[in-house]
Amino acid sequence: MTDPVRTALAAAHAHGPGKSLGPVGGAVRVGRPRPTRSVPLSHLADDPSFGAALAGTLSVALAPRRWEPWNPHNDHRGYPSPRCVYPTDAALRLGGERWPVDPVRLVLEGERPLPDPAAVGSATVELTVAPHRLPDGYGTLRDALALLEAGHVTSCLIEAGRTAGLVGHASSRGGGGRSGVVAEVTFEEGEVADRPWRQAVAERSGALAPRGLSADPRPLPAGTLGRVVRDSRPPAGSLAGRRGAVRLRHRLAVRGIVGVRDGLYELGEGGPDLIRPGRATEWIGPAFGFGRAAVDVPGMNVVWAISGDVEGAVREQGPDAYRDMLLAAGAAAQHVCSAAAVSGLFCRPVRSFDEPAAEAAMRADPGEDIVYMLLIGRPRALDFCYDLTDPGEFP
């Protein structure tokens, strides 16, 4: 086994409980620069076309969206984050200058005057990750979680940009090099999307779970699964859909949807194909160590598994393929989260599970690793939360 393959598999197996191959390298640690000035994000809107669209995109995708008093982890943004720690940082590169984004204060931090967006015509948002912000108890899983989140952020940016009339193209940056950048999204002006992505970004939810996470036991309406699958297809420019990317496989354990037979499905070009009828969500339940009182996995309407052939990808595309796979899986998961939100469903990403048990239940190929799972259902209850969005943001 070649060294790049062994290194990638060691990392993948270290991130998946139940597997072992050897030690894994350390996390990517990026120090934040010390800026000499802060410019409000709204200053970009001095240019009423490209600049205003760019400011709106950064605000919608990156800024806090809501605060939940009953939730031990806050704040909540347009994409999920472990314990709401947000180990992904964004910086705007405009006209050759780099401006880190402070998403809470809605300011750009830099050392030189902000260029005129209209004169530049395009802009790039660079993403770096800081896994060490996550609790030490996560161990080497911190690396995987940070890269998955960075993938979420690329898709969240693209979705928000589409509603503002910007076309975004995401790309990965391998190991990040000296800059630490693991992915970036470049924006240019384009056509406004007809799908309600702004609504999805605002209302995305991991569900109410102060005393355990579970789905409403009543069946979902007919057409729900087809709608979520359709709306989750990656738009142009997404890491989840770009040509030449590592191949991902999607398998769905489905329960309690009118007109859809309970069972295990594989997502193909034409939609979900039934590969094994039965109580698929119960088969996958034992792979989670939470217990049904904490997370009722068998009671979910959909358990969505994303897998890939780590060894094959590294052999074919090189040592950065595993990182690219995690980024692409996070990007795909964000589209599913948004699609679920449009249909009034919660979507809870999960990375902590027994991989061999999960792969057996989902009938993954022997060479594949499940790198991400999503728990989807209709919330059993709703509660008050503080809406942190700008009232003028959603016409």
Do residues 281 and 297 touch, judged by C-beta distance below 8 A?
Answer: yes
Distance CA 204, CA 371 (A): 22
Distance CA 365, CA 359 (A): 8
pLDDT confidence of residue 55: 92
The dihedrals phi and psi of 272, each to the nearest 5 degrees, come to -75, 135
pLDDT confidence of residue 24: 39
The two three-digit tokens of residue 58, written as one number: 């950064």
What pTM value is reported for the model?
0.89
The two three-digit tokens of residue 374, written as one number: 């999503």
- As a three-state string, the secondary structure of 91-117 is EEEECCEEEEEECCCCEEEECCCCCCH
Q: What is the DSSP letter of 33?
A: P
Q: Please give the C-alpha separations between residue 138 and each of 25, 82, 143, 173, in angstroms, as whole numbers.
A: 15, 10, 9, 24
Which residues are registered as beta bridge partners of 267? 272
Which residues are registered as beta bridge partners of 39? 108
Distance CA 16, CA 141 (A): 8
Q: What is the DSSP letter of 131?
A: G
Domains of the chain in sequence order: 3-203 (3.40.109), 224-377 (3.40.109.10)
Distance CA 327, CA 246 (A): 10
Which residue ranges of the chain lie beneath pLDDT 70? 1-2, 9, 13, 16-36, 174-179, 192-203, 206-211, 242-245, 391-395
Residue type for position 183: A
Which of 98, 80, 87 has the alpha carbon at shortest distance from 39? Answer: 98
Pairing of strands 271-277, 263-268: antiparallel
Distance CA 310, CA 359 (A): 14
Do residues 20 and 139 touch, judged by C-beta distance below 8 A?
Answer: no
pLDDT confidence of residue 35: 53
Q: Please give the C-alpha separations between residue 361 and each of 167, 271, 283, in angstroms, as whole numbers.
A: 39, 21, 6
- Angle among Cα 278, 280, 282 to the nearest 5 degrees reads 110
Distance CA 166, CA 151 (A): 19
